[in-house]
Amino acid sequence: MSPPVSALKASPAPDAVRDAFIARLNTIAGKLDLFGRLKEARAALSGRLTFTTSFGLEDQAIAHAILSQNLDIDLVTLDTGRLFPETHDVWAATEQRYGVRIRAVVPEARDLAKLLADQGANGFRNSVAARQACCHVRKVLPLKAALDGAQGWITGLRADQSAHRAAVEFAAVDAERGLVKINPLYDWTRDDAVAFARAHDVPVNELHARGFLSIGCAPCTRAIAPGEPERAGRWWWEDEGKTECGLHANPLHLAARAKLKEAQHS
Ligand code: SF4
């Protein structure tokens, strides 16, 4: 029998306790709505729980559930320096609506200067390696700083967004970062997120109505045509399937999840 969720409060938890804790969270998630999932995650985890928002539709639903319940969850955005003005608009609208300041983590000035000296202003288009170098400086390293010291990381991932994300569950081990990853929208569709935003009058990015379903940095995001995969507008000039920036492409995480699943089924 799994230990109670509160067992993880003895953090850092031994692997077996942590894995049982995660299995329990995944068992109860299906019975809870978004509000309940976030409440449960907050109550279960000790220490800092960080939500990184890009102000996309899914993240806005999560922000609403956090802020309307006044949950003790750290809201952070990664301001890459290349975001759309519309993203800044919804950022400001969110702060105004809920009466909060959302913490921004920006790239290190020295890293950015070196990147620009190496590849120029838009050098990320020159090769996959150059693009990854840009994402590393503007996103991956700031994410590392944002999550430093956090016990848990909340994301807006949905399993049906892409083949890469198909195995996303409510809770999982992020072995590389040494924390628990919480994906409260793991079983949602995009329509679920649209309906939630409408029902709760959540501020949304104007670009969604113009065909930008997944929104990242301005030069690396385009609108998609009807019928195109949801993330087809991200880094579209690269090979099909390369629609992740490194924030969620984590082989160690996948390996840890596979190990956990194996343990659950043995
Ligand atoms: S999405 Fe584009 S502009 Fe943004 S960090 Fe990655 S390569 Fe750079």
pLDDT tens-digit series, residues 170-221 = 999 999 999 999 999 999 999 999 999 999 999 999 999 999 999 999 999 9
Q: How far apart are CA 142 and CA 43, in angstroms?
A: 27
Q: Is residue 141 part of a domain?
A: yes
Residue nearest to atom 5 of ligand 1 (CA): 135
Residue nearest to atom 4 of ligand 1 (CA): 217
Q: Is residue 37 part of a domain?
A: no
Q: Is the CB of 216 under 6 A from ligand 1?
A: yes
Report how many domains make up the chain: 1
Q: Is residue 93 part of a domain?
A: yes
We report the CATH number of the domain holding residue 104 as 3.40.50.620
For residue 162, the enclosing domain spans 48-265
Of all residues in the chain, the percent with pLDDT exceeding 70 is 86
Q: Is the CB of 135 under 6 A from ligand 1?
A: yes
For 121-160, how does the pLDDT look when each residue is reduced to its tens digit (9 = 90+)?
999 999 999 999 999 999 999 999 999 999 999 999 999 9
User: pTM for the complete prediction?
Assistant: 0.87
Q: Is residue 4 part of a domain?
A: no
Q: Is residue 260 part of a domain?
A: yes
Atom of ligand 1 nearest to the CA of 82: 3
Q: Is residue 21 part of a domain?
A: no
Residue from 83, 122, 124 to probe ligand 1 pocket by mutation (most atoms less than 8 Å from CB): 124
Q: Is residue 164 part of a domain?
A: yes
Q: Is residue 204 part of a domain?
A: yes
